[in-house]
Amino acid sequence: MTLEDYLNGQVLCIDKPLKWTSFQVVNKLRWHLKKTFNIKKIKVGHAGTLDPLATGLLIICTGKFTKKIDSYQAQVKEYTGELTLGATTPSYDLETAVDKTFPTNHISAELIRAATHEFMGDITQIPPMFSAIKKDGKRLYELARQGKTTEVKARTIRIEAFEITAIDLPRVRFRVRCTKGTYIRSLAHDFGKALGSGAHLSELRRTQIGNFRVEQAQQIADFIAGLEAEN
């Protein structure tokens, strides 16, 4: 593709690597586009943050297509992942260490599958303190990393599908389809409570956004190699 193609707008499907932030992916692609075409500026943005410990589909928009980001963000998303029962963490995932442990010997496969029904449809959810939501001009995760807490407002989200795909206690694998604004980490945390225990998210992969699937996605290195080969 030419510089004009990228400036007029492209949608790039990238498979975000583990431990990369979504902003790091955007910055990496922007840098290589500027370098390849010897330009000082080009608009590049992502359509929906993935946590550093999550992998999978990240939609990147370039040029004029950055105006379409909101429409992509609004589309239904699908995730697969794993939650671990019997322990919680402050971040609701593996970013922080376990802070509390809970019994799990009362939990059966039947109880786990039955509990998913409590989370179907329109539900209220409180985002985790370790999130990029802003309050009084600061990201919540900035406050959390300073050991500070603040009230986080609940929001209404919709879970269209919540399927348990494998159980190997204390690990439980799942598939979720949900609307914009859903925190799978909060879902894992609340799911542990519903089972009379605790839980945290131990793995997450985004597999779909609207009609875009992760199977269509490129690795960052492959995109860069293709970009350099074409130009």
Task: Tell me which residues are annotated as active site.
Answer: 51
Give the burial string for 159-197 (b: 16+ CB within 10 Å, else e).
beebebeebeebebbbebbbeeebbbbbbbbbbbebbeb
- Beta pairing class for 138-139 and 134-135: antiparallel
Alpha helix (H) ranges present in the chain? 3-8, 22-37, 69-73, 109-115, 140-145, 184-194, 220-230
Helix or strand holding residue 15 (H, E): strand 10-16
Residues 6+ apart with CB under 8 A from 16: 22, 25, 50, 54, 55, 56, 57, 58, 206
Integer CA distances (angstroms), 115 to 108, 124, 196, in order? 11, 16, 11
Ramachandran bin of 9, using left for φ above 0, alpha for ψ from -120 to 50, beta for the remaining angles: left
Query: Going along 103-229, which residue ranges are E strands?
Result: 121-125, 134-135, 138-139, 155-168, 171-178, 199-209, 212-213
